[in-house]
């Protein structure tokens, strides 16, 4: 029993004299508690809707008003040059710009006046099965409110709801492409995050430092090597998704791989950055998990819809690479979206990669200069 005390004391010294690991260990639960307890909820308060009101009547205006005069729905209008048509809104649905389309037929007012059954159409994006279910319930709530006011049409008012992209609202369709986005970022970053810290630990970095090789050549060389590994990992996950879980890949695989290449570069350059700033492999790995997994799961829209995040967290979600790739992969895999639907997301990821590579090269050069 006498041995316990010195062992415990030694371990405590170890724990408290490794401030970087300590910060990560303490920061992780604090962030989790903060995220779950305060900032994240499954409630939706910003459902983007496109409205096709072919009737343009007073009563259709009242019906639309019920949707717009609450905290849940926000109308998304048309940009200049866009036509008021179902096709236009379907494209927006595919690109993730809206979550739902409401279609009011041209004879809506006439039928209501004549007491003939009338049908209002709803098209919900089912790629996020959880959100789609909540939107469906909110629709019911608003319609109930409307019919409370217009009790005389209660019997003739019909609703026709269609769920696009995932009609059976299978949660696997929603989670698995999202999981690919989370895993791909984490694995890409992990691959490179260990590479420089490993060289630092072994001392091989000294031989690289004294060689005439340029800093950018080292960073880019390391990044390129791991692109192939990350691509192989993505291919395996996609194969499993399709053949094991039956996820339909509706879009073009080349489009997906094209966007993935940019995303993988973002992850790899992020890993390099972490690797340069951490002293050893252990801290590097912990740092990578903290920087990639936690925000990607919590703040990218993987589980919680972005609209349900508190404003500061929604702002943070804008700098998380998974936020952009998640839209792309769900769009391409579940909705059959094309390159043009996600040009903005692709450009943001490209910009992130370029900035991260640039910062990594600068930081690495600085480390090299300080060494010498």
Partner 1 sequence: MNENIIEVRELKKKFGDFIAVNSINFGVRKGEILGFLGPNGAGKTTTIKMIMGLLSITSGDIIIDGINLAKSKEVKEKLGYMSQKFSLYPKLSAIENIEFFAGISGLGKKKIKSKIDELQDIVQKDLLDRSVDKLPPGIKQKVALYASLIPDPDILLLDEPTSGVDPEVRRNFWQEIYNIKKRGKTILVTTHNLDEVEYADRIVILHRGNIIVEGEPSELIREHGVDSVETLFKEAVRDYEGN
Kindly list the residues in this chain that would bind partner 1 in the complex (CB under 8 A): 202-204, 206-213, 370-372
CB of 127 to partner 1, least distance (A): 43
**1 vs 370, beta carbon nearer partner 1:** 370
Give the C-alpha separation, 143 to 264, whole Å.
Answer: 45
What are 148-153's contacts with CB under 8 Å, separation 24+? 149/62, 150/59, 150/62, 153/112, 153/115, 153/118
Give the residue among 354, 359, 357, 321 at the shortest CA–CA distance from 221. Answer: 357
Report yes or no: 131 and 99 within 8 Å, Cβ to Cβ: yes
CB of 276 to partner 1, least distance (A): 16
CB of 299 to partner 1, least distance (A): 38
CB of 329 to partner 1, least distance (A): 34
CB of 267 to partner 1, least distance (A): 24
**106 vs 211, beta carbon nearer partner 1:** 211
DSSP letter at 279 equals: S
**199 vs 234, beta carbon nearer partner 1:** 199
- In a 10 Å sphere around its CB, with 0-12 CB exposed, 13-18 middle and 19+ buried, how is residue 10 labelled? exposed
**15 vs 210, beta carbon nearer partner 1:** 210
Angle at 160 between CA 157 and CA 163, to 5 degrees: 155
**207 vs 310, beta carbon nearer partner 1:** 207
CB of 261 to partner 1, least distance (A): 25
Give the C-alpha separation, 348 to 26, whole Å.
Answer: 32
**68 vs 213, beta carbon nearer partner 1:** 213
CB of 218 to partner 1, least distance (A): 8
Interaxial angle between packed helices 129-149 and 171-202, expressed in degrees from 0 to 180 and rounded to the nearest 10: 140
Report yes or no: 292 and 30 within 8 Å, Cβ to Cβ: no
Residue with tokens 């080292």: 218
Q: In the sheet where 73-75 sits, what is the strand order?
A: 73-75, 47-53, 100-104, 118-125, 157-164
**99 vs 199, beta carbon nearer partner 1:** 199
**224 vs 371, beta carbon nearer partner 1:** 371
CB of 163 to partner 1, least distance (A): 52
Burial annotation 353-363 (CB, 10 A radius, 16+ → b, else e): beebbeebbeb
349 alpha carbon, distance to own chain's centre: 12
């Amino acid at each position: 029993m006498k041995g316990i005390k010195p062992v415990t004391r030694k371990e405590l010294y170890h724990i408290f004299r490794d401030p970087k690991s300590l910060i990560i260990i303490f920061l992780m639960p604090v962030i989790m508690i903060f995220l779950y307890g305060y900032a994240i909820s499954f409630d939706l308060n910003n459902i983007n809707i496109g409205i096709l009101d072919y009737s343009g009547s007073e009563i259709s205006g009242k019906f639309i008003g019920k949707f717009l005069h609450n905290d849940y729905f926000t109308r998304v209008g048309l940009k200049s040059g866009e036509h008021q048509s179902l096709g236009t809104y379907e494209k927006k649905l595919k690109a993730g710009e809206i979550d739902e389309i409401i279609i009011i037929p041209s004879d809506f007012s006439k039928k209501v006046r004549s007491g003939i059954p009338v049908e209002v159409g709803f098209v919900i994006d089912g790629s996020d099965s959880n959100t789609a279910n909540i939107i469906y319930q909110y629709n019911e709530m608003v319609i109930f409110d409307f019919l409370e006011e217009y009790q005389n049409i209660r019997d003739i008012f019909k609703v026709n709801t269609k769920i696009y992209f995932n009609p059976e609202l299978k949660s696997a369709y929603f989670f698995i492409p999202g999981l690919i986005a989370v895993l791909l970022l984490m694995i890409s970053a992990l691959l490179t995050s260990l590479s420089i810290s490993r060289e630092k630990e072994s001392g091989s970095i000294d031989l690289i430092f004294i060689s005439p090789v340029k800093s950018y050549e080292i960073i880019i060389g390391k990044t390129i090597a791991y692109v192939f590994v990350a691509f192989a990992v993505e291919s395996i996950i996609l194969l499993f998704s399709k053949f094991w879980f039956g996820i339909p890949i509706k879009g073009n695989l080349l489009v997906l791989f094209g966007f993935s290449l940019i995303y993988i570069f973002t992850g790899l350059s992020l890993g390099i950055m972490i690797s340069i700033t951490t002293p050893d492999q252990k801290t590097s790995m912990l740092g990578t998990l903290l920087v990639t997994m936690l925000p990607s799961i919590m703040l990218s829209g993987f589980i919680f819809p972005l609209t349900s995040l508190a404003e500061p967290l929604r702002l943070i979600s804008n700098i998380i690479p998974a936020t952009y790739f998640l839209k792309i992969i769900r769009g391409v895999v579940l909705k059959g979206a094309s390159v043009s639907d996600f040009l903005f997301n692709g450009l943001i990821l490209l910009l992130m990669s370029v900035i991260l590579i640039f910062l990594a090269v600068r930081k690495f050069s600085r480390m090299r200069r300080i060494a010498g």
